[in-house]
Structure 1
Amino acid sequence: MKKKVGFVIAGICLCWYFMNSFHILPHKKYTDEDFNIVTYKSTIDKDKDGMDDQSDILQNVRSYIATKPKYKSKYYSGGYPDDEYGVCSDVVAFGLKDAGYDLMELVDEDIKKNQKEYQIDIIDKNIDFRRVRNLKVFFDHNAKSLTTDIYDIKNWQGGDIVVFKNHIGIVSNKRNKKGIPFIIHHEHSFQFNYEEDILEKREDLVGHYRMS
């Protein structure tokens, strides 16, 4: 009997560990208002659609993940994925593109001006803007660099860009109970949710940016 109870407890623990590790368990989400944080609104509307860029980027990202893209790294002759697949950088690329920032064109222009900094021998416009290491350099050159202290919660806003060593995503306007924002991202094929509470669990954060 004791062995059976032990197996049951062990099974429950393993199940909980698995569900927690893969962010399957639901997490309560909080808003800026819950922490008396003023939501940032950009003064720029690059695509002239009547919505400020910060809000536009966040809305576009939510529209993109609503299509439930499947994780797969592929090369596209037109640069942007035109099927059901995508990778982490596509979350950012589509979020910015529909706000008036064409990363394929912008990154290509910046690489041609600063090729040594990108450490690229052969420039390929169709793929360069989808590589995290290139985006890190691009945002260093062209975006506002912000704090990487995740506990400085007022300076993390929905629509910001977050870069990890080999990964990238968009900051959500939803937060955990400490006020630390969720991240909207697409990291692997086994990801259950695109919006996850991951910042405290990662040790590879290398950049935090704002385009507008």
Structure 2
Amino acid sequence: MKHKKILFFTLIFIAFILVVYALYHFNIIPHKKYSNEDFKIQRYISQTDKDSDGIDDQTDILDGVRSYIATHPKYKSKYYETGYPDDGYGVCTDVVAFGLQNAGYHLMELVNEDILNHRETYNIETVNKNIDFRRVQNLKVYFANNSISLTTDISDIEQWQGGDIVVFQKHIGIVSDKRNKKGLSFVIHHAYPYQRHYEEDILENRNDIIGHYRIS
């Protein structure tokens, strides 16, 4: 009987550890955040101030993203005649769009212009200004054409700065200025309906990073 109790409590303990690990792995349990200063990394400041508000573009983008996620947008993919979601819903591309809009970059107009000027680089049958800028594959092409391309090696931590754009195979987000204990950047993103936190430690768990960009 004693051995059965020991086995029972051992299994309970192992199950508890596995549950905690899973909750941590999937960011249900928030990860501790560190700053650039903790790793002696100099914060990147853009030399451009597109909207002439006295705040550099890189900081403006990050501020805009934080303002957007503070509204706690709910995840839903739908079409808007206005282009930009206006009803409290959104998807991953909207995090990027609203972040850049805060710096004076209007992705709906910019992506549409780039598509019309470089139609051969976009795999689009019918151009639709209101939705094209909200598709990951289009943003990958747009940023590759119009921004600074950076490393996709996440271990090169100094090259990852808050306000950068990271593109995955079927997802996109904005790089945070917060980091994990290894110095790897968090990502501000919107991935699915039941996501609890918008700023998450996910880079190390992804093997599908296809682009890392910075507005020039």
TM-score range, shorter chain: over 0.9
CA deviations on 1:59-103 (whole Å, 9 max, x unpaired) are: 000000011111110100010000111100000000001210000
Conserved? CA contact 1:104–1:125, under 8 Å: yes
Letter in 2 for 1:57: I
Over aligned residues, Cα RMSD in angstroms?
A: 1.2
Q: CA deviation at 1:148?
A: 0.7
Q: CA deviation at 1:17?
A: 3.5
Q: Does 1:127 align with 2:131?
A: yes
Q: Distance in 2 between matches of 1:11 and 1:84?
A: 38
**Runs of 4+, deviation exceeding 3 Å:** none
Residue number among 107, 114, 137 corresponding to 1:110 in the alignment? 114
Correspondence for 1:188: 192
Structure number with larger C-alpha Rg: 2
Q: Distance in 2 between matches of 1:154 and 1:14?
A: 33
Q: Distance in 2 between matches of 1:20 and 1:36?
A: 26
Count of paired positions: 212
Q: Does 1:208 align with 2:208?
A: no
Conserved? CA contact 1:162–1:169, under 8 Å: yes
Tell which deviates more after alignment, 7-16 or 43-52: 7-16
Residue number among 140, 146, 151 corresponding to 1:147 in the alignment? 151
Q: Does 1:52 align with 2:52?
A: no
Correspondence for 1:85: 89
Conserved? CA contact 2:24–2:30, under 8 Å: no
Q: CA deviation at 1:22?
A: 2.4
Structure 2: 5+ residue runs without aligned partners?
none
Correspondence for 1:20: 24
Q: CA deviation at 1:9?
A: 2.1
Q: Does 1:68 align with 2:72?
A: yes
TM-score normalized by the length of structure 2: 0.94
Correspondence for 1:99: 103
